[in-house]
Amino acid sequence: MQFKGTRGAQPRADLLQESSPIHCAQQLGQRAERAFEALADNCFRAADIMPESIKNLTEVKADINSAGGLQRTALHDHAVALHLEIVKSLIYHNASVDKEDSEGNTPFALAQKAGACEELLGF
């Protein structure tokens, strides 16, 4: 069976088990929304993120405290890399300064270990 508008791609069979096209569309929409949320959450950790982008991401309800590898948040990553303007913006937008990574380090503990603490204490 060929579905109109799919350019030859077949919709996933598990989505077609329900007979209602509305139900299928709803499931696809929910999956797209979850994918967008995951993508937005990961954007906080991008090395080239601009502080104004952080505001935009929080406005669409991206999780500023989502954790990646080693359970580190964007604040962990940017604090240790001395991205001071980004760190300020993350904290301003309620990034958790107390969240610990998988080794029990807070963002500032990691920055201190990297010798970056003095720069971060100025705000």
> What are 38-80's pLDDT values in tens digits?
667 677 777 678 888 888 888 888 899 999 889 999 999 888 8
Residue 54 CB-density burial (10 A; 0-12 exposed, 13-18 middle, 19+ buried): buried
Alpha-helix residue ranges (DSSP H) falling in the chain = 21-43, 51-59, 74-80, 84-92, 107-113, 117-120
Hunting for tokens 């077949």 — which residue is that?
Answer: 10
Q: How far apart are CA 11 and CA 25, in angstroms?
A: 11
Closest residue by Cα to residue 62 from 38, 31, 45: 38
Residue 21: per-residue pLDDT: 53
Q: Which fold has domain 13-120?
A: 1.25.40
Residue 81: per-residue pLDDT: 84
Confidence of residue 2 (pLDDT cuts 50, 70, 90): very low
What is the value of pTM for the model shown?
Answer: 0.64
Query: Rounded to 5, what percent of the chain is helix, strand, coil?
Result: 55, 0, 45
Contact 90, 75 (CB under 8 A): yes
Domain ranges of the chain: 13-120
